[in-house]
């Protein structure tokens, strides 16, 4: 066989010059042709390892992206709570002690009746004691127990009720619960 020294194209023994660049051909043996046409084994292994590594990274990136996607979608789907006014805003009074109160709410002054056609709103006083250690009768009013009227139409009779920035807290049978402001229509005394 013959080969062009410029473009390394192989020709049969009958040709004398290259068809592409008109260079005279040289004669080569079969071992040289086989060595030139066979890819070396050393290059295959690193290339295969690099391709495998890239595929592994790609699969991990796709898996990570898909596993994080439902959390974003569920956060976007959750409705945001609407804040509705719950009667007139509470007025806060200064605490006689300068220390920080462990109670979850500030003291709230009761609001007077506005008209006979609307029920009176009641705000019982909050204690400066921790919620679970207040004694009997603290936070109750002489006129009766406070009733929380819900926006859904239901009502909750409570032992004590107070408002905070988080919502409306109430105590009933020694158990303290938080209602979001959007759930409470008004608070009345019965």
pLDDT for 42-94, tens place per residue?
A: 678 888 899 999 999 999 999 988 888 755 545 555 555 555 556 555 565 55
Rounded CA separation 24/12 (Å): 13
Q: Which helix (H) or strand (E) element contains residue 147?
A: strand 146-150
**pLDDT tens-digit series, residues 146-186:** 999 999 999 999 999 999 988 999 999 989 999 998 999 99
Q: Are residues 40 and 110 in the same domain?
A: no
Of 111, 112, 106, nearest in space to 94 by CA: 106
Q: Which residues have a Cβ under 8 Å from the Cβ of 121 and sit 6 or more positions away? A: 87, 88, 111, 186, 187, 188
Residue 18 has pLDDT above 80, yes or no: yes
Q: Are residues 52 and 85 in the same domain?
A: no
Q: Tally the domains of the chain.
A: 2
Query: Comparing 22 with 190, which gets the higher pLDDT?
Result: 22
Structural domain of 128 = 81-93+102-190
């Amino acid at each position: 066989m013959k080969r062009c020294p410029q473009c390394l194209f192989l020709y049969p023994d009958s040709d004398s010059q290259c068809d592409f660049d008109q260079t005279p051909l040289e004669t080569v043996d079969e071992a040289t042709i086989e060595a030139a046409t066979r890819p070396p084994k050393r290059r295959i292994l690193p290339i295969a390892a690099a391709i495998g590594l890239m595929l592994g990274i790609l699969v991990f990136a796709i898996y990570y992206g898909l596993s994080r996607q439902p959390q974003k979608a569920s956060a976007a789907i959750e409705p945001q709570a609407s804040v509705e006014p719950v009667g007139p805003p509470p007025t806060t009074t200064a605490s006689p002690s300068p220390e920080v109160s462990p109670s979850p709410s500030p003291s709230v002054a009761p609001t007077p009746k506005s008209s006979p056609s609307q029920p009176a709103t009641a705000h019982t006083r909050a204690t400066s004691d921790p919620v679970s250690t207040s004694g009997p009768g603290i936070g109750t009013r002489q006129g009766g127990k406070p009733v929380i009227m819900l926006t859904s139409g239901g009502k909750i009779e409570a032992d004590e009720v107070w408002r905070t920035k988080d919502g409306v807290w109430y105590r009933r049978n020694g158990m303290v619960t938080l209602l979001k402001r959007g759930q409470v229509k008004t608070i009345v005394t019965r």
